[in-house]
Chain A
Amino acid sequence: MTENPQMEGKNIGYIVGGGLRESLRVRLTVDPQEVQEGAFVVVESGGWSFYGLVTDLALGATDPRFADEQSEERLPAELAKLLHGQTLYTTLEMLPALMMETGPEPGSPAYSEWINAHQGGDERVLPVKTIPSHHATARLARSSDIAQIFGAPGEEGNFVVGTTREQDLAVCVNLKKMIQRSAGIFGATGSGKSFLTRIVLAGLIHNDLASTLIFDMHNEYGWDDTASDTNTKVAGLRSKFGARVRIAGLGRDNTVRGQNPDFYLEIGEEDITPEDIELLSRTLNLRETTPTTLEALQQSFGKSWFHEFGQMKVGAVVEDENGKKVPAADSVAYWANQNGVNVAAAEGLRSKLSRVFNLPYVVSGQMENALQTIIADLSAGKHIVFSFGKHESDLDYLLVTNILTRRIRETWEKRVNEFRSNPGKVKEPRQLVVVVEEAHKLLNREMASQTTFSTIAREMRKYYVTLLVIDQRPSQIYDEVMSQLGTRISGWLGDEDDIHAVLSGLAGRDALRGMLAHLQPKEEVLMLGWGVPMPILLRTRRYDEAFWKDMLGKEAEKKSPEDIVKTLGF
């Protein structure tokens, strides 16, 4: 696994300064080109190991004249070389994150005593509270260091998301811990977010730690896809996991990539609440009078307000006794007058809502069947990829995801409360992860109070539901929501505000800002936050045949989907 065996654990320098508030400063004893920003570094001092990330590299000189003068030209090469590391040096800044007692030498009599006193892996690793001494040696991490901090790849719940850049050491994330809170995957467009998402989802599905409801806005995750830049086939979750993954389509006759989904969902008119409409204010350019009008409608018609409103016509007039044009009985104006609602406002609303009324997947009644199927599948441990097919507009996305998620959330809340009251009798609800793309559309400041998603983000982990947001404009996500996100995995970000947003809620992370802007797109990510012991820069796993072979074993390649189904016991 290690590409550069000689790099593993290699000493790179010694501590010369710094502290807890600022970073630690390390004087490099190797060429600066051997260490990059983001390298995982370990310093041992006084019975403790300190773990951290390289956040800066700077050149220095004991006297600026040494730097100015090109000694390579004045002096023989061998002689000029000796100045490097002495009068000319490189200082590295290391952000310390964790520390752990290393204890006495293994094998010494004190060791077994110490090991007994310090049982329990995780408690030994602490957030950094002290600092190493001057001249303590700094070295690159070994695989044992990575395993100590992030978990060993073989152990349960540990999923390899990538490797360290310098030494190709495998880094795991504990998925179980990760999904205990909402998480986020970020990165500018083209930075490889969707591949990373596929990897994480594959991990979740394979390890069977939660059920996932994936709102696949661009039809990327369910079926096989083709990479836009390389034109290679990108495996879909369905083709790899078979019947564990169910594809749901929006609306009848909605094929996804030429394939029929396993079932389709239609939204019932009675499922749409005024709140759902208000959510669409920006999209539909609704006016401030909308809430009033909606409330009046609900008052008038109750559950079927939507249907009734849809039946109304704008501008329908009839002639009355006097030949005057008056609003027809089925007109908006007529109702408005009847109910003390501003006619213009009502008519305006009706016009703007035509789009919604005309949605092919909005049907009369309720969506009960499809919804129950979804809930049942999710409870049973299956995963739903909800494909929008041809309904790719913001309107579709906002409306459908919100309605669906609201119903699911209600169901889960109820079940959890039942479970808590009768723990013996009621089965523990299944952990659910709702995967949302383009999260900023649903979770921006405007909408934050209105969508289910912000509720989930804020509260629902108590109720076994968390989010996994995928987004390229994290700065547009409401910061209260952002601060609720635990694990964040971020690819390259160019915008200062986006970088700031990803790091929000995490104490003193100025040192990491530069790193986010320097990530190699499609190759490197920064993983940090709750659920990750310390920030770490990773080279992501490639989402390719080798990945699937690793995940599923050799058989996955050869077997057909039917065989897989059989293997999985369906």
Chain B
Amino acid sequence: MPVDFQQIRNQAVEMGRQAPEQMQRSRTLLQNALEVFESLGERSEEVRERVQNAAAEDKKLRCAFPSSEPILNSYPEPDCSPAEVTLAADGSQINPSRHEAADFGVVNCGALRMATEELPREIVQSKLLYFEDIEGKSEEMIALMRDVGERQLLVELAKEGSGSVVALTDGMLDIYREPRQDAEFNRRFDDYLASLRALAALRTIVAGYVDKPRADLLVRMLELMDGSEKDMLVRARERPLGGVTDAMLLNGRLQPGMRSAVFGIESSSSEQFNGPLRLHFFYLNVGIENIPQLARVEIPAWVAEDQDLVNTLHATLLFQCRMTGSVPYPYILHRAHEIAVVGPAEREQIGAMIDIELRRNGVDPGIRSSKQFMKDLAGKARYE
């Protein structure tokens, strides 16, 4: 049933009424944040130390810390060419549904390989999960299987050929999950890390692309610095600059095609993502004059520490984003998503296929649950 629009409307009116005040408040906060940020120009070492100290005391702390690049620096589009080979992988899943007749799941990973003067190549890996595969498995587990699948696909592709290779995935590299006692879960997570290491060994420039970033890693860093070290943890809790995002901070500071300085991520996941895998990031304006569009790019340490690799990544990302014209987004990521994505139509077809096979072997697939049946009654297309 649709919402009660009358109820909603009243609340929307209230929201509108509060908006100007809220707007004013945001502006003030942003102004404060900018002041703090701009005061940190030469103080990278100081900031690093303070963050370290804070993290030692608060395990849950999650914020940025400066790398060797000065905090306030921004870097224009580099002269170097994009990578010779660009890879992107994405995955999609069909979760088992206890409402369906014959329960199954699917993990579908897709990748696209683009290289200059070559026809881009699509790769798909589709895995059907059934019986033991799905027994007791949560959706999260299947998501992890998917993430692993994506990176493993990239590893395979990265192994071909030589020359500079950029491997992209959508979203953060840090696939944060609740730690489990589950052995299988841990095993799979280790697989994930292993694939990242494999890519490192191949010198593949690995990056995670976050479109429309809402992170406030930099802002939290600013909060620690906005006052004495003594009170920094209090501030971290109370969030004086809460509501301000990194993107807001940097919107006016990055011209089209420019990136911010590289920063490291201080978080609990650094236990697993350690050494060369230690996670870093930078912001990149992929937009055009007067229309800034910031993306956050996550990279492992070995990439962050190599200027050439960062430059190649920078050039490649801009090259890819320009392909999609008015709404910049890496073309290759979009394609990878397209290749991987599965939906209800696929679910139905695969379900039908399984039905036939079960029947062929004398097994009755069972009936759909009533709940699912009712949901499925919604309209079908009519031939016109």
Do A and B share a direct contact in the complex (Cβ within 8 angstroms)?
no
